[in-house]
Structure 1
Amino acid sequence: MTTNDFALFLSLLHIAMASAVTVHALLTRLAPQSTIGWIGLAWLSPYIGPVLYFLFGVNRVRRKAIKLTGPDGDVDAPHSPFALSPEAIERRGEVHLEPLAKFGLRLTGRPLLDGNSFTPLIDGDNAYPAMIAAIEEASISVAIGSFIFHDDEGGGPIIDALIEAQKRGVAVRVLVDGIGSGYLRSPVCARLMANGVRAERFMHEVAPWKMSFVNLRSHKKVLVVDGRHGFTGGMNIAAVNLFRKIEIPPSKAVQDVHFRVEGPVVAHLMETFAEDWAFTTSEVLEGAPWFPEIGAAGDVPARGIASGPDEDNEKLMWTMAAAIGRADRSVRILTPYFVPDDRITSQLTLAAVRGVDVELVIPERSNHLYMDWAMNALFAPLLRAGCVIRRAPGPFDHSKLMTVDGAWVLLGSGNWDARSLRLNFEFNVEAYSAAFVATCDAIIDAKVQGSRIVTLDDLRRRSLVARLRDSATRLASPYL
């Protein structure tokens, strides 16, 4: 082959690869910006662009899920006698939230379930002992999933409790993320499996040619004991969450909020774990050990919302947007990161313009400096519309809460960024209860003590270099 022939071959290969990316992106991707970006990268970066698209731009997760479960193969919780119609919210006195309840039913296919209670667990000092106590009392089954699960002073005692539960005959299943809990080696899985506990890593591949799932992580945090007692929220399992109890460098310490959940909605927690477990292992968890009949434990109507790249739509994002759209009086958001797409920022801007009190609480400094830069570039339009943005003092706060009109709350694993809203597998719970929302608002109030209000002057005083840096980082927000 001559030099000219080889050059022609490389040119034709580039055209073929870029054309394949163009066809696939046009047929499968919905967002115009990302579609244009990937097509441009494929044509302007010969060979490298198409390879990057193959690794990070193709959603194989949904295809794998469909192949595994089939159109009717989802793991579904049994029908509950505590299922509520959306109209029940109107009868409880929140007329304007009834459409939101109806929207949630259509979006998720899950009914609101009455009869629940939620107990906040602030930081690992409160959450981990409660979780360990529940595992120690387990008699039938334990299912636990987490993005980060370390075998250290935070996770070690939980691992010990899981091993002891397995020894006394409890069916234990542990699912951790294939990157968040250790990519090359997962100490938590190694110790559990060495002691006979079934532990798996979610979408974990070592071979480079199988790394197409590297950008799609399970960010869920769920524990269900005996199918009846649940824990969920935003808290990972690691020593950094015990900064009040053990010596942790201030730059590593993490604040967070988790919740003990009792009542029929625990079945939704179990359902999302069972689906992820079946996705990972092909083992279907079903029957009374995992889905028993659950009686009322309180008076809070609630619904679980699972979202991820295997779903037909962006359920978490649309839930947030719908709640903002129904707000009459207030929207309060507590989140470690705030880099959503324009659909969310536009909804918040419109809410503020029509007179809703919109309050955003973020850390003074996050654990990822580039996230702070990207957030800075998003604030000006919100501030001009009348939103209040507060930066709360450290340690870094990983908590996630959203309340609307003192009557509705969203809690769970999802952050307000593109990764949680588009790429990650997340689990959240929406609840309709003035009393419970008051509890959550009190948590937010405590977080803002000593906070600093961000102003337009603060943003303008940044140097030109800083503003350029922040704006450039924002361009990468869909992948941060």
Structure 2
Amino acid sequence: MLLLETLALLAAHVLSWVAVCHALLTKRDPRSALGWIVTALLLPVLGPLLYMLFGISRAQSRAEKIMRQRAAREPEYAHPACPAEPPERVPEHIVRMAHLGHSLTHQHLCGGNALSPLLNGDEAYPAMLDAINAARSHVFLATYIFNAGHTGSAFIEALSAAAARGVDVRVLVDGIGALYSWRKPWKKLAARGVKAALFLPPKLLPPNLGINLRNHRKVLVCDDMGFTGGMNISDDNIQSGRKSCVRDMHFRCLGPIVNHLRRAFLLNWGFCTGEYTPLPPGSCQARGKSHCRIVMDGPGNDTDTLNDLFCGAVNEARRSVRIMTPYFLPTHELTASLRSAGQRGVDVRVTLPARNNLPYVHWATFRLLPTLLNAGVRIWHQPPPFTHTKLLAVDGYYSQIGSANLDARSLRLNFELNMEVFDPEFHDLLAGHMDEAISLGHEITLDTLKRQSLPVKLRNAACWIFSPYL
């Protein structure tokens, strides 16, 4: 009996130390590692069990598998149709930021591009549908949400017509984003000759019930025209004649950067379907003056590419930083970068929606605003309707557009696609858009926050505690 008790006690301590070693080797946050280590050592049986159930990031492990599969295929898509610009041809005034992006993505800048902002679905959807209707070679569409409604039906008809005339049409919808609509319009596509796939859909067999690891990227490529940004396919983005709607911005892309959008789609498609097809031929013709780079980020990487890039852009700023985002729960690193910029006199302006479709995220944001306001960062709420636009503009020459929000879910758990743009004229377009929103909004000050009641402050703090999971 004594031997059995001794063996059980030894086994319990071995399990505890296995959990300790695993936490030490895999946890990236020292506070999280320390918490689990203490739990495992103080509760020799229960601690390791709790760690096994809740402490091991299965999402991260699966993400690493996804990224390994993608990395194995990337050499096949390493060289889009047009060669990227070597460093010696990059304009001198953008060398430092260009070098940072190259260090993080291993992709050179691509010159000769023209980008056009499209406001809301009223401008974006007709342009996208026209491009689909004009396509003769291929149409590649990736979206997080593809809702039923007039917009969804219009896209179904255009995609089906393209497939009927022999165009290679492929549609990729996120497995969780597909659940936003009770009716699934994209399900009609297969019967009409369109290839359609879901990204990691939830299912029982084999089990996949997780809600993380979402493909949040939005890409449409129609021959030599591309579209990207933050806009889903939904009637919610139509403003005309609607009281309840979502403001957003998408971008039409012309020039060699379209080849890189095409590459991004095919890598995603290959992961979901196992079908890695060669890159279709693309055009190298210069269509504008923008230097661009695609930034694909997701969990499972050794680096936090987008977070590091955001921090680098803010740290590099000497005059101005403008940010517009629907969800603002920045990482510790990005918060420190914004504070530092404000403290050294950079004009840092952040524009957020006054009304959010996720109120608990909105409430959590209030908890972290004082530390930014105290450092000189200025923050505005723009009036309803809810604005889903994600923009970054720095120092008159650098911009970012794309799908990523400034919160933990986007920067840690989602697969995102952003585009760096080096172009003073394009920067001024985005900065002007944000300045107009600021002129219509109201500024949040420390006095504003002090006037909040104690129950409201407690509610905000309670939501902020869970900000890594929102």
TM-score by length of 1: 0.89
Superposition CA RMSD, Å: 2.7
SS in 2 for 1:78: coil
Rounded to whole Å, the distance in 1 between the matches of 2:201 and 2:103 is: 32
- The residue number in structure 2 matching 1:394 is 384
The answer to whether the aligner puts 1:141 opposite 2:141 as a matched pair is no
- The residue number in structure 2 matching 1:245 is 240
The one of 305, 308, 316 equivalent to 2:306 is 316
Does the C-alpha gap of structure 1 residues 17 and 377 become closer, same or farther in structure 2, counting only changes over 3 Å? farther
Does the C-alpha gap of structure 1 residues 67 and 220 become closer, same or farther in structure 2, counting only changes over 3 Å? closer
- The residue number in structure 1 matching 2:100 is 103
Structure 1 residue 85: deviation in Å? Answer: 1.7
- The residue number in structure 2 matching 1:379 is 369
Structure 1 residue 84: deviation in Å? Answer: 4.2
Does the C-alpha gap of structure 1 residues 18 and 453 become closer, same or farther in structure 2, counting only changes over 3 Å? farther
Rounded to whole Å, the distance in 2 between the matches of 1:35 and 1:87 is: 45
**Deviation string for 1:182-241 (max 9, x for gaps)?**
289771331112222111110113117733652111110000111x21000011111110
The one of 178, 187, 191 equivalent to 1:190 is 187
The one of 45, 59, 62 equivalent to 1:60 is 62
- The residue number in structure 2 matching 1:441 is 431
Q: Which amino acid aligns with 2:327?
A: Y
Structure 1 residue 403: deviation in Å? Answer: 0.3
Q: Please list, as runs of the form range in 1=range in 2, the aligned pairs for 1:330-369 lying within 5 A after superposition.
A: 330-369=320-359
SS in 2 for 1:111: coil
Structure 1 residue 149: deviation in Å? Answer: 1.1
The answer to whether the aligner puts 1:207 opposite 2:204 as a matched pair is yes
The one of 131, 147, 150 equivalent to 1:153 is 150
Do the aligned partners of 2:381 and 2:443 also contact (CA within 8 Å) in 1? yes
Does the C-alpha gap of structure 1 residues 129 and 37 become closer, same or farther in structure 2, counting only changes over 3 Å? farther
Structure 1 residue 22: deviation in Å? Answer: 4.0
The answer to whether the aligner puts 1:163 opposite 2:160 as a matched pair is yes
Structure 1 residue 297: deviation in Å? Answer: 0.6
- The residue number in structure 2 matching 1:282 is 274
Do the aligned partners of 2:74 and 2:267 also contact (CA within 8 Å) in 1? no
**Deviation string for 1:127-171 (max 9, x for gaps)?**
011000000001010110011111212222112111111111000
* Runs (5+) with no aligned partner, structure 1: none
Q: Which amino acid aligns with 2:127?
A: A
Structure 1 residue 45: deviation in Å? Answer: 6.9
SS in 2 for 1:331: strand
- The residue number in structure 1 matching 2:25 is 27
The one of 88, 91, 95 equivalent to 1:89 is 91
- The residue number in structure 2 matching 1:51 is 53
Rounded to whole Å, the distance in 2 between the matches of 1:233 and 1:13 is: 53
Structure 1 residue 63: deviation in Å? Answer: 1.8
**Deviation string for 1:63-113 (max 9, x for gaps)?**
2442465386563242624514266221xxxx3x32111111111111111
Does the C-alpha gap of structure 1 residues 72 and 359 become closer, same or farther in structure 2, counting only changes over 3 Å? closer
Do the aligned partners of 2:16 and 2:47 also contact (CA within 8 Å) in 1? no
Rounded to whole Å, the distance in 2 between the matches of 1:110 and 1:77 is: 10
Q: Which amino acid aligns with 2:30?
A: P
Rounded to whole Å, the distance in 1 between the matches of 2:182 and 2:85 is: 43
The one of 247, 257, 274 equivalent to 1:255 is 247
The one of 228, 232, 240 equivalent to 1:232 is 228
Rounded to whole Å, the distance in 2 between the matches of 1:390 and 1:316 is: 24
Does the C-alpha gap of structure 1 residues 25 and 67 become closer, same or farther in structure 2, counting only changes over 3 Å? farther
| % same residue | 39
Q: Which amino acid aligns with 1:218?
A: N
Does the C-alpha gap of structure 1 residues 133 and 38 become closer, same or farther in structure 2, counting only changes over 3 Å? farther
Do the aligned partners of 2:147 and 2:180 also contact (CA within 8 Å) in 1? no
Does the C-alpha gap of structure 1 residues 146 and 86 become closer, same or farther in structure 2, counting only changes over 3 Å? farther
The answer to whether the aligner puts 1:465 opposite 2:462 as a matched pair is no
* Runs (5+) with no aligned partner, structure 2: none
SS in 1 for 2:90: helix
Rounded to whole Å, the distance in 2 between the matches of 1:71 and 1:351 is: 39
Do the aligned partners of 1:301 and 1:433 also contact (CA within 8 Å) in 2? yes
- The residue number in structure 1 matching 2:176 is 179
